[in-house]
Amino acid sequence: MKSVVVFKWAIDPRDIRVNADGSVDWSAVSPWVGDDDYLAVQVACSASGQEGEVTGLTLAGGDVAFAAARGAQRTVAIEGLPATADAMTVAKALAEAIHSFGDVDVVVIGDSAWEPSVPVMLGGLLGWTTVMAVDEAKFEGGKLHVTRRFGTGTQELCVSGPIVLGVAAKREEENKPGMRAVITARKKPVTTIQADELMKESVPAFTLHSTHLPEATPSRLFDGEDPDGAVSQLVQALQADGVF
C-alpha cells in the first residue's frame, strides 16, 4: 500500500495575536507540529504494511524530518502557501499534491483541533471515503482494517479503495525518536513543490469584513473564607441567572 501522511500543516492558534482594539495579527503564525502528527505517521506506516511506502507531506519549511524520523521513506514539502491560507486553500493544495503522486491508497492526517475543516475538505476534494476519529489502521489479508472511536467505545471497519483517515491522539507521544534517528532521517529524500504550480484554479474563499473582541463574560467570584456564605451566594447567583 502507498500511504501519504500529512504533518506539520496546521497553525497553532496561540500564535495568533489579538490587539486591544480587536484587530488580529497573524504575522507570527506558521505551520507547526500538531499533537496528532506522531500518531498520523504511526497509522500511515501500519496501514502501508511491511512492503508499503509512506510519503510525508508538509506545508512547513525548515526541518521537515518529522515523518522521516518515524518511518516515512521520503518527504514532500509544499512551498509558497501563506501560513494564513484558509481551510479550502490548504486542503486544495494538499489534494493537488497527492494527485501528483500517482496511485495513493491511504492518506492520514491529524484531525487537528486547531483546524477541523481541512481533513474533511481533503477527503471531499479527493472524492475518497473519509473516516475521522481513527485510532489505528492495519493492512491485513489484502484489506485495510480501521479502528475508530464510536460513542463510548470503538468500531472496526473494513475498507477497500482509497481512503482519508483523520487520527486524534489520546495522549502525548511516548517513544520519541532520538537524535540518531533524526540525523538519519535528514538524509532521506526531500522534494519541494511550489504552491502556485499546484493551485492552477482559484478556490472559493471568504473575504474578511472585520474583527472584534468577543462580548466579555466577566467571572463572578466569591470568597470561600466563609464556605457557607460563599456557597449560598453562588447558588443564589446560579438560580437568579437561570443556570439550573
Partner 1 sequence: MNNDSWIIVADDVPAGSLSLIARGLGGRVTAVVVGSRERAEAAAVTGVDEVIWYAANEEIPVEAWTECIAKAAEKARPRVILAANMPMARVFVGAAAARLGAAVTSSVMAVMLEEGRVIVKRSVAEGRAVEVLEAEGFVAGMIIEGAEEEEASSVSAKITAVTDYMPENNIKVEATHVETGSADLSSAERVVSVGAGIGSKDKIELVRQLADAFHAEISCSLPLCDNYRWFDHSRVVGSSTQRISPRIYLAVGISGQPQHMMGVRGARTIIAVNNDPEAPIFGKCNYGIIGDLNKILPVLTTALAKI
Contacts (CB under 8 A) with partner 1, residues 176-205: 204-205
Select the residue interacting with partner 1 from 30, 49, 52, 133 (CB under 8 A).
133
Stretch that binds partner 1, among 16-24, 41-49, 100-108, 186-194 (CB under 8 A): 16-24
Select the residue interacting with partner 1 from 130, 137, 177, 198 (CB under 8 A).
130
Q: Could you tell me the smallest distance in angstroms from the CB atom of residue 115 to partner 1?
A: 7
Q: Could you tell me the smallest distance in angstroms from the CB atom of residue 184 to partner 1?
A: 28
The kind and range of the H/E element at 74 are strand 74-79
Select the residue interacting with partner 1 from 1, 10, 108, 121 (CB under 8 A).
121
Residue ranges in 150-179 that form contacts with partner 1 under rule CB under 8 A: 150-161, 166, 168-172
Residue ranges in 47-86 that form contacts with partner 1 under rule CB under 8 A: 86
Q: Could you tell me the smallest distance in angstroms from the CB atom of residue 228 to partner 1?
A: 6
Residue ranges in 87-106 that form contacts with partner 1 under rule CB under 8 A: 87-88, 91
20 is a contact residue toward partner 1 (CB under 8 A): no
Question: Rounded distance, CA 27 to CA 43, Å?
Answer: 33
Q: Could you tell me the smallest distance in angstroms from the CB atom of residue 46 to partner 1?
A: 17
C-alpha triplet 8, 13, 219: angle, nearest 5° = 150
DSSP-assigned letters across all residues of 108-150 = EEE--TT-SHHHHHHHHHHT-EEEEEEEEEEEETTEEEEEEEE
Question: Rounded distance, CA 145 to CA 82, Å?
Answer: 36
The kind and range of the H/E element at 165 are strand 163-167
